[in-house]
Every structure is written in structure tokens, then in C-alpha cells.
Structure 1
Amino acid sequence: MKTYCVGGAVRDRLLGLAVKDRDYVVVGATPEQMAALGYKPVGKDFPVFLHPHTRDEYALARTERKSGHGYKGFTVYAAPDVTLEQDLARRDLTINAMAEDEAGNLIDPYQGQNDLKAGLLRHVSDAFVEDPVRILRAARFAARYRFTIAAETMALMQQMVQAGEVDHLVAERVWQEFAKGLMEQMPSIMIRTLRDCGALARVLPEIEALFSHQSEGEMLGEHTLRALDYAASEDWDLPTRFAVLCHDLAHTASPEQGSDTLIQQLCDRIKAPAEMRELASLACNEGRQIDAALSLSSEALLDLLLRGDAFRRPERFIQLMDSCVAAARGRSGQARSDYPQALLLSACMSAGKRVDGGAIARATINSADIPQAIRAARLQAVITAQQGILGSASV
């Protein structure tokens, strides 16, 4: 029975990066032996155990044989006679198919270290084509490390798309990988990689369509990619980045369809959480008004804040404004321009939020007049804030 550290921990150590999680492969053991040593079984499909003290994952060495479509279409064989090299051979990319023994010696049968040095993402074997999730993973790793996809690996990815394998992707896995990719350093690389192999058109046709529509002389898709990378450079959260991704869908939706329908069908297809859909819809519906905030009347500013639920959910409204900032930065020639609309709206939101609705309600004799009294107080607060930022207010 031998234990090896495998995968991401080995890869990131060789890259000089902080190692966050460690996964292990155990060769020459049975589930009964692992249980006798105090390891807790957690895997339903695979023989995976948690260390009794560190809680790290330890998986028995295994091989996989394709038996159906998609992520779960595999027959797993785990037994003491499975070697480390056989276990590593089932992995997606050479940079993820390295191991270290307990003495720290590198085991690298597929030349992953050389590919790390070359900045190359290369498949371990032709078994890569058996799992469509690997397309998403390759695109995500390209975005993380800014590595190049090997030509032969890209060819396999294209073959998988043409064969319809991506049509069998489990929606939850798509969202899991795509969300991780949006949070990488250069999410635009993930989108470009998925476009290059044809997967974007199959998995996210609404985003693919952005590369067929122009605005102000350029493709909306190119604008979106620059905006995404700006959001990443600011280390903004996932809902904000997803809103940036969907921001320009307002330009591609037909009048009959509307951007809300596009966003809804996109989110349904990949099982994106409700908070993603809500913020993305706000960005599409209110983006133009936020861009025009400097020229809006005080009444219109207040209505914008109310539609965005800014007083009850200020954090989400900040996310909305950030998505608009990113969209502005993504426009050609505006990467370093200021976005004073955010300053104005933040000031108006803070002023309106300070209005004590409870106190106004208690002081209003007729309860039917309470909503209008609160609105009047908030409007006055917005006017004052607007005057403070712009010097004069248009009421």
C-alpha cells in the first residue's frame, strides 16, 4: 500500500503557487483496508475516503472505461492491482497527471512538467474525448494560467463538439466549471477557447450570438470579453462577472423576445443560480439608464434606484453599478476613462437610504399617505445628493 499526492497540488507547487488542497491516490489497497485505518468513505461513484484527521481526500487507484454518454458514462475499476501510472493515464491534461511520493519524488510519466514549462495544455491520451467536461476544464485552465491549448488537443475538442458529445453535458457540471472559469484571471481566454472548439455555440448560444452583432463599429462579443477581464482585474465577485457577461444581451434580443427571456433560457440551460439571473436581468434592463445617470432628473434617478431595490439591497445595486463600470471599460478606447455615474448613484443611494421610513410612517396621520410621504423625503435626499455631486439638480 503506497500513497501519492496527485493532481493540482503537484502542478501548483511546480508553478511556485500556493497549494490550497491536496488530493491523494492510494495504490495497492482495498476499501476494507482503508476503513480499518479509520478513513471515512464518501464516494458513491468512486472509492474515495477522507483522512481521519486532516480530512484530505484519498482515492483508491482506478481505471475508467467509457460505457455511455456524458460525465457519468463510465465503468470504474478500482483494485489493488491498478498501478499509479494507470490511474494517472485516466486524467485529462498532462499538467494534472503528475504525482509525488511520500519522499517528495516526482512521478511524471506523461511529461507534465515539460508542458508546464512550455505553457501548454495537452491531453494525456485519446481517452480525453470520452468526457465532455474536459473541454470546459481545458478552457478554464487556459484562463487561469494563460496557457496555450496544444493543436492536437484542440483538434480533439473540436471532434467532440462535432460528434455531439457536449450535448450530453450535465447542466450542473457546466455551471460548476463555467463559474470557476469566470473567476479566473483572464475569463476572456475561456470564452475564446470555447469558441475556437465550437462548444460555446452549443452550450451558450446566447453568448456566441454576441460575436455576430455589432455596436459602435465592433462586435459585442469583443466588448464583452474586455469588460469581463476588467471585472477580473478588479477581483469582483461571480454575480457581477456573470452580469458583465450578459450585459450586452439587451442588444441582441428581439423586441418580442426581450433580454429577460434570453437570460432566463441561458440560466435554465446551465442551472445558474437565481441571484445570477436577477443581477444579469437588472444589468440588461437598467444599463442604459445607469449610463445616462448624469443627465437624468432627480425623479428619474429615484425611480432608477427604486427599480434596482437600492435602498433594501444596496450591496446588489453596487454589483449592478460595477457591472456597468466594467461594460464602460470594455468599450474600445475607454479602458482608463472615469465613470462618474457610479459616484452620483452611490451618493443618491446613500442619501435615500438614510431616510427613516418608520419615523415618517409614525408622523403621517393618514396611512394611505405614507408611501408618498416616504417618496417625497427620498426625492429631497436625492436632490440634495445630486446637487452635491453635479452642482445643480434637474427636477
Structure 2
Amino acid sequence: MRIYKVGGAVRDRLLGIPVTDIDWVVVGATTEEMLAKGFRPVGADFPVFLHPKSGEEYALARTERKSGRGYGGFTFHASPEVTLEEDLIRRDLTINAMAEDDQQNLTDPYHGQRDLEARLLRHVSPAFAEDPLRVLRVARFAARYAALGFTVAPQTLELMRQLSESGELEALTPERSWKEISRALMEDQPQVFIEVLRACGALKVLMPEVDALFGVPQPPAHHPEIDTGAHTLSVLQQAALHKQPLTVRWACLLHDLGKGLTPEEEWPRHIAHEFKGLKLIKAVNERFKTPRDCQELAMLVGEYHTHGHRALELKPSTLLELLQSFDVYRRPQRFEEFIAACEMDARGREGLEQRSYPQADYLRGAATAARSIAVQPLLEKGFKGPELGEAIKRERLKALKAYKEQV
């Protein structure tokens, strides 16, 4: 039995960046031997075990063979005869196909270290094209390591293009797709993820609604960058720069989908794009079965982001309707995330990244004013049922009028 550290732990150590997860591969062992040493089995499809003390994953060296469509369409074979090189060749990228023993002696049969130095994301073997999930994974790695100068090797991008055109991407489950998308959006340069998907034709398969934004012009007076797709990528980049959570980043990606539906004869204006985009945002949410908090914020930002930009001009009654839509009384955090998404949208414009966004504090102040209305005094006056609701609304409107006047 020989044990090697593999994959990301080796890659990141060589890059000199913090190692977070460690994966191990065990060569020359059987399931029975692993169990005898106290390892706990967890793998459903192939033998993976948890270390009895550290809890880290140890997998028996294995080979795989394509047997069906999609990410799950593989037959695995694990046995003591499988070599380390045979295990490594089934991995996605050369930089993930290195191993080291307990003395840090490197096993690198597919030149991963060379590609690390060349800053290239390159596939290990033609078998790369058998797994559609790898299109998303490579795009995610491109986003993760973009700051270090990594790019996708042309031959690998071509294989990703072939996968995108093959129909295999449609075989991915929503859960697997969302796992990769959500992780990619939380990288430091998530816009690179979208750029790579677009470069290989995967974006128009997975998110045609986002792909449709490229080449659609906006009024240059408000959007110096003009192109709606370029603007969306800039908004996403700003969200990452400002360390926004996943909910905000997802909303930033989808906020302008309605502009992709504007007839060319109406360009560069996009009248009512907020409402037109809601059915598209809903469709994307359903396609990937996104978590409810991401779904809700994306829909609300899509519908109301222009309200956010015009906050200082809104009538008190419109402002109250906005606050009610977000249920700021019970869910203040969601409104805070809406404000963040609006600010990222405003900053995601060429040359305007550093411009202040006074609407943010104004909206926070409005929410505070509306929340300051106490219910108890109204109950003591005898209001109840629908009448109580109307009385609360009147008092909140009064508070917002006073707030607007003082600001």
C-alpha cells in the first residue's frame, strides 16, 4: 500500500498559495485492507474512505470508462493493480494530475508543473471530452487563477467547444451545474468564468439569456461601456471586488436580462426591461434549482434596481411600496443586499467605478424611518385587523415624507 497526496493540494503548494483541502490516493490496496485499518467507507460509485482520525478522504486508485451521457455516465474500476499514472490520467487538467509522497517527491507524468510555470490550464488526455462537467470546472479554475495570469490552452478550449456543441451539457443535473456555478461566482474574478463559457460556446447552451446580452447596446450617456454583456461582467467584477455574498453576485449576473429582449429598432433604449426580464430570471433560477435566497433576491433586483438608482427622486408613496416589497420590517438583510446589488450595478460602468452612490445611505435611512413606527400605540387607539394595517401604512408614509423633507 502506497499513499500519495494528489490534485489541488499539490498544485497549490507548488503555486505557493494556501492549501485548503487535501485529497489522497491509495495505490496497491483493497477495500478490505482499508477497512482493517479503521477507514470508514463513503463512496457510492467507487471506493472512497474517511481517515479514522483526520476525516480526510482517501480514494483507491481507479480507472474509468465512459458508459453513458453526462457527468455520471462512467464505469469505475478500482483494484490493487491500478497504477498511480493510470489514476492520474483520468483527471481533468495537468495541474491537477500531480501527486507527491510523504517526502514531497513529485510524480508528474503529464507535465503539470511545466503548465503551472507556463500559466496554462491544459487537459490531461482526450478523455477530457467525455465529461461535460469539465467545461464548467475549467472555466471556474480560469476565474480562480486569472489573477496569477492563467489562461485556457487553445487545444483545451477547442475540446470544451466540441463538448458544448455535442449536447452533453444538457445531460448535466441542475445540482451539479449549480455547484460549479456558485463556486465560480465566489472566486475573485467571477467574470472570467462567464468569459470562458462564452468563448467555448457553453454560455449560450447553459445560460442563453446571459449570452444574448453581448452585442446589445445601451445609452452611452448612462453606460460608457455601451455593450450590455460587458456591463454585466463589470457589475459581477465589482461584486467580487467588494466581497459581496453569493446572493448579490447571482442577482448582479441576472439583473439586466430583460435588455436581451429589446427589439433592435428600439436600441439603445430598453423601456420596461425590468419587468420583461422577470420571466427570464425565473427560468434561469428554475433551470439550476438555485437556493431560495438567491432566487428571491435576483427577482427583486431585476424588478426594482432602477428604483434603487432613482431613490432620491421617488415619491414617499413609491418608496413605501418598495420597502413593503422587500418586507424590510422582518427581513432587513435582504434589503441591504438589494442596496449592495444596486451599488454594484452603478459601479459596473466604464470610468464610473469609483463614483459615490448616495442612494445607498438614503435607502437605508428610509428603511429606518419606516421601521421606527411602533404598532403598540395604534393598538391602544383601538385599531385592529385591516384598519390597523392601513393605520400603520399611513404612519409609515408620514415618516417617509418627513424623512424626505429633512434630507
Normalising by the smaller structure, the TM-score range is over 0.9
Aligned to 1:170: 173
Contact 1:352-1:382 within 8 A present in 2 as well: yes
CA distance in 2, matches of 1:144, 1:96: 14
Aligned to 1:84: 84
Aligned to 1:33: 33
CA distance in 2, matches of 1:354, 1:121: 55
Aligned to 2:206: 203
CA distance in 2, matches of 1:272, 1:365: 41
Identity %: 48
Q: CA deviation at 1:169?
A: 1.6
Aligned to 1:328: 346
Aligned to 1:128: 128
Q: 5 Å matches for 1:21-100?
A: 21-100=21-100
Alpha-carbon RMSD: 1.6
Cα distance change, pair 102–297 in 1 and its aligned pair in 2 (3 A): same
Q: CA deviation at 1:359?
A: 4.1
Read off the aligned partner of 2:351 and give its amino acid letter. G
CA distance in 2, matches of 1:326, 1:216: 18
Does 2:18 align with 1:18?
yes
Query: Please, what TM-score do these two structures have when normalized by structure 1?
Result: 0.95
1:243 to 237, 251, 257: 251
Does 2:288 align with 1:258?
no
Q: CA deviation at 1:150?
A: 0.3
Moved over 6 A (4+): 254-257
2:388 to 366, 370, 374: 370
CA distance in 2, matches of 1:300, 1:74: 55
Q: CA deviation at 1:290?
A: 1.1
Read off the aligned partner of 1:11 and give its amino acid letter. R
1:270 to 269, 275, 288: 288
Q: 5 Å matches for 1:301-312?
A: 301-312=319-330
CA distance in 1, matches of 2:210, 2:170: 17
Q: CA deviation at 1:212?
A: 3.7
Aligned to 1:283: 301
Contact 1:250-1:285 within 8 A present in 2 as well: no
Contact 1:290-1:341 within 8 A present in 2 as well: yes
SS of corresponding position for 1:348: helix
CA distance in 1, matches of 2:381, 2:80: 78
CA distance in 1, matches of 2:240, 2:305: 19
Q: CA deviation at 1:365?
A: 4.2
CA distance in 1, matches of 2:93, 2:118: 14
Q: CA deviation at 1:354?
A: 2.6
SS of corresponding position for 1:25: strand
Contact 2:343-2:357 within 8 A present in 1 as well: yes
Cα distance change, pair 265–368 in 1 and its aligned pair in 2 (3 A): closer
Aligned to 1:393: none
Cα distance change, pair 244–29 in 1 and its aligned pair in 2 (3 A): same
CA distance in 1, matches of 2:145, 2:381: 60
Aligned to 1:186: 189
CA distance in 1, matches of 2:385, 2:283: 42
Tell me the alpha carbon deviations over residues 21-60 of structure 1, each in whole angstroms, 9 at most, x when there is no partner.
1110000111111111111100101210001111000000
Contact 2:383-2:391 within 8 A present in 1 as well: no
SS of corresponding position for 2:351: coil
Tell me the alpha carbon deviations over residues 212-258 of structure 1, each in whole angstroms, 9 at most, x when there is no partner.
42212422110000000000001110010000001101323478983
Cα distance change, pair 99–290 in 1 and its aligned pair in 2 (3 A): same
CA distance in 2, matches of 1:279, 1:65: 41
Read off the aligned partner of 1:222 and give its amino acid letter. A
Cα distance change, pair 13–385 in 1 and its aligned pair in 2 (3 A): farther
| Comparing 378-387 and 232-241, the one that deviates more | 378-387
Q: CA deviation at 1:291?
A: 0.9
Cα distance change, pair 366–354 in 1 and its aligned pair in 2 (3 A): closer
Aligned to 1:297: 315
Cα distance change, pair 365–67 in 1 and its aligned pair in 2 (3 A): closer
CA distance in 1, matches of 2:336, 2:121: 37
Q: CA deviation at 1:265?
A: 1.2
Cα distance change, pair 362–116 in 1 and its aligned pair in 2 (3 A): farther
